[in-house]
Structure 1
């Protein structure tokens, strides 16, 4: 699994008129703690349906453990990342769609009342609705039907998938809309999320730079203790671990290209000591740089 150069993912959707896509994700032979979804965000909504194995997804700083059958709702613009919590095969489906999928409902008063507030980001569905209302499980058949429709691609499947997603949001809104907190309750959290997006994008573009915890905290005007606590919530890793993951993923890419020596690769990713580089690389990748090269 390669790590992206940019934190923002430009997700490819099926077509402009029906902006949705279904991705089948697999990580065979995953190790515990291995990344199964790189840290990123996008302007689209995402629904994660766990199919095999187990994992933990950090979505907007909160961890959610998942097992087969579990469903998570990632809000548009939400930072999310996933790690395996098992040894073995891991598989999940991501249903990604843009809120513009439902633009033709814009003049419908009931849509404006029940669904539009979620599409506009004024309020958000719970990431794991089952933690709040077990009755939501009955609605998840719509997701399985949408996945099957997308796979079969029978005539007018786009209309069916669109209808199923809209029905799902309407049913969930029926449950949660009366319970939603006022908009301003989450405003500080949203502002904090945007600040960390900027920092993480900076790290991923400049991972070879020597950036200390104190310096990183200073960029966000936070004290180091609070910064470390918030960074772990956002990414599921400590600041040092996250920088190392970025460096080792880039190192793996350079090693596979085969144009640079191990020492040169170490220097490219900000590790001046080749022995230390080898130690860290094996810690994160399970093999030495030389073994990757072979």
Structure 2
């Protein structure tokens, strides 16, 4: 899995002219509660097609239970993270697409009416389309075709993927727009999301800094009780658990680079006591730092 620092709103798509890419994710022998998709966000849409296993994806403050064969749509800018819900292999495909892929249609009045509201964030597709309307699942075979094109990369696959993706969005808009226009405007997914983004970025940019719950709560303008409650809803982990996980992920990366001693790495990730660092690393990575370095 990628380090969270590499995923801060800068998920790079290979071809700027056609900003769409598929990421095939496979977590071998995942354990229940293992993190299978680290907390991150980006400006792109993300569509996850679950292929194998059972997981929960937290999108902003809401958890979504996802099984093999199901699809979720993550709006651009949403914080999201995933955890295994049972032991075993977990496999899922992520199609990441930037709204600029459809800039050719900006002056098309039909596009402006039906698709642009979703691309610009005025409306949101249901995270689990098939649960909101039976027709939502009708688009899943089309998504499989898109993934197949992006993986095979045959000549002009970009055009095929683009046309099919546009068809996918149009079909979803056709299904859900009439329903959404008849409902009251939904509340924002997470009003303090930007403050939490800054806090998470601060944690990952200052990996060894001691940061108390009280200080973190003050950064997002909440009292410690509500901060801890909202942080758990957002990430699926307590604040302390998330900080420790982030530090151990950084330690894992440094151990692989083999340029620093284990004691030096412990200090960098905020563990002044090497014995405590070893205990913490084993808790999160199921092996000691020495064993990780041997691998």
Instruction: State whether structure 2 residue 211 is matched by structure 1 residue 211.
Output: yes
Structure 1: stretches of 5+ with no match in the other structure: none
TM-score (norm 2): 0.93
Corresponding residue for residue 195 of structure 1: 195
Instruction: State whether structure 2 residue 93 is matched by structure 1 residue 99.
Output: no
Alpha-carbon distance, 1:153 to partner: 2.6
Alpha-carbon distance, 1:183 to partner: 8.9
Tell me, yes or no, if the aligned pair for 1:7 and 1:201 is still in contact at 8 Å.
no
Corresponding residue for residue 74 of structure 1: 74
Deviates more, 1:195-204 or 1:247-256: 247-256
Give the secondary-structure state (helix, strand or coil) at the position aligned to 1:57. strand
Corresponding residue for residue 55 of structure 1: 55
Corresponding residue for residue 86 of structure 2: 86
Alpha-carbon distance, 1:293 to partner: 2.4
Give the secondary-structure state (helix, strand or coil) at the position aligned to 2:93. strand
Alpha-carbon distance, 1:228 to partner: 0.6
Matches within 5 A, 1:6-155: 8-155=8-155
Tell me, yes or no, if the aligned pair for 2:192 and 2:220 is still in contact at 8 Å.
no
Cα separation, 2, equivalents of 1:180 and 1:193: 23
Alpha-carbon distance, 1:255 to partner: 2.2
Cα separation, 1, equivalents of 2:239 and 2:230: 10
Cα separation, 1, equivalents of 2:197 and 2:259: 32
Give the secondary-structure state (helix, strand or coil) at the position aligned to 1:21. strand
Matches within 5 A, 1:114-263: 114-180=114-180, 185-187=186-188, 189-263=189-263
Alpha-carbon distance, 1:274 to partner: 2.2
Tell me, yes or no, if the aligned pair for 1:12 and 1:21 is still in contact at 8 Å.
no
Change (3 A) 1:256 1:17: closer
Cα separation, 1, equivalents of 2:57 and 2:28: 18
Cα separation, 2, equivalents of 1:60 and 1:190: 6
Change (3 A) 1:251 1:17: closer
Give the secondary-structure state (helix, strand or coil) at the position aligned to 2:159. helix
Tell me, yes or no, if the aligned pair for 2:62 and 2:234 is still in contact at 8 Å.
yes
Encode CA deviations 1:202-257: one digit per residue, 9 max, x unaligned. Answer: 01111211111111001111011110111112111110000000111111222223
Alpha-carbon distance, 1:68 to partner: 1.1
Tell me, yes or no, if the aligned pair for 1:7 and 1:204 is still in contact at 8 Å.
no
Corresponding residue for residue 280 of structure 1: 280
Alpha-carbon distance, 1:156 to partner: 2.8
Encode CA deviations 1:129-178: one digit per residue, 9 max, x unaligned. Answer: 12211221111111011111222333332222112111111111122112
Encode CA deviations 1:43-93: one digit per residue, 9 max, x unaligned. Answer: 111100111112111111211111111111010111111122222221111
Alpha-carbon distance, 1:290 to partner: 2.0
Change (3 A) 1:283 1:105: same
TM-score (norm 1): 0.93
